[in-house]
Amino acid sequence: MPNFNPIFTLVPRSAWATITAANAAKDGTGTTFLVVTADAVQGGNFLGLVGEPLGTNVATVCRVFLNNGLTPLTAANNSLIGQISLPATTLSEVSTANIQPMERTFNRPLPPGYRIYVCLSTAVVAGWQITGLSGDY
């Protein structure tokens, strides 16, 4: 019988968070934001992140944590898998002076129920919209 649902076919999934708060913890605890959840049965693939500044912000770092599907408030459930420098940004309403977004590819398989959380190392004023891009198997 043919396989009608091959494992390499991904069902797209996205989630996002608007972040202004700081979190100095490097173990995934504290104020973090869920941006990816893998399918509970088949797992998924964490494709990457897109960060869009929402106005004027100081420079900061976006920390990315892999979570085993349990509470992120327990450090043993999280692993720091990436840090992305986010530049200081200045809002401009001039159409020729857009603020550059951040994009980072991960392309990592996720076991069933695993999650990706993000946070910022420094508080910002306007915020960053961080979108997680993933797919379920």
91: pLDDT strictly greater than 60: yes
Q: What is the pLDDT of residues 20-52, one digit of tens each?
A: 999 999 999 999 999 999 999 999 999 999 999
Q: How many residues does the chain have?
A: 137
- What is 12-136's CATH topology? Jelly Rolls (2.60.120)
Q: Where are the domains of the chain?
A: 12-136
Token digits of residue 21 = 């708060």
What is the spatial distance between Cα 6 and Cα 31, in angstroms, rounded to a whole number? 37
Residues whose CB is less than 8 angstroms from the CB of residue 39 and which lie 6 or more positions away in sequence, other chains included:
11, 112, 113, 136, 137
Nearest Cα neighbor of 104 from 41, 25, 46 is 46
Neighbour tally for 135: CB within 10 Å: 18
What is the spatial distance between Cα 120 and Cα 122, in angstroms, rounded to a whole number? 6
What is the spatial distance between Cα 127 and Cα 1, in angstroms, rounded to a whole number? 51
Please tell me the predicted confidence (pLDDT) of residue 97.
65
Vertex 13: Cα angle to 127 and 69 (nearest 5): 80
pTM > 0.75: yes
Q: Please state, rounded to an integer, the average pLDDT across all residues of the chain.
A: 91
The Cα diameter of the chain in Å comes to: 59
